Amino acid sequence: MTVDWRSARAAMSGRLVDAWLRVPPATIAVPQETRDMTIPMPDGAELLADRLRPPGETPLPVVLIRSPYGRRGAFLASHVVLPVRR
């Protein structure tokens, strides 16, 4: 098993600083997931889309990701945007 000591050290440092500053632990909301939404186009074609959004009904900005390789392929997995703590 290979351990990336730089990232492990950074994670440990972050936890120590959080404890020292008494920062509450980060919370990550589980996104609401809607699969295979149909979107009608003006020429009559229907596109399929997946929607992931944080819980709640608040209007939010949109991040659109388009790919000719499908919605669930390895290409998309390499371009996933991960949530980060602030």
**How far does CA 80 lie from the centroid of its chain?**
6
The domain limits of the chain are 5-77
Closest CA to 23 of 14, 10, 35, 33: 14
20-34 pLDDT per residue, tens? 999 887 777 788 888
Overall average pLDDT of the 52-56 stretch: 85
CB 73 within 8 A of CB 79: no
Q: Is the pLDDT of residue 40 over 90?
A: yes
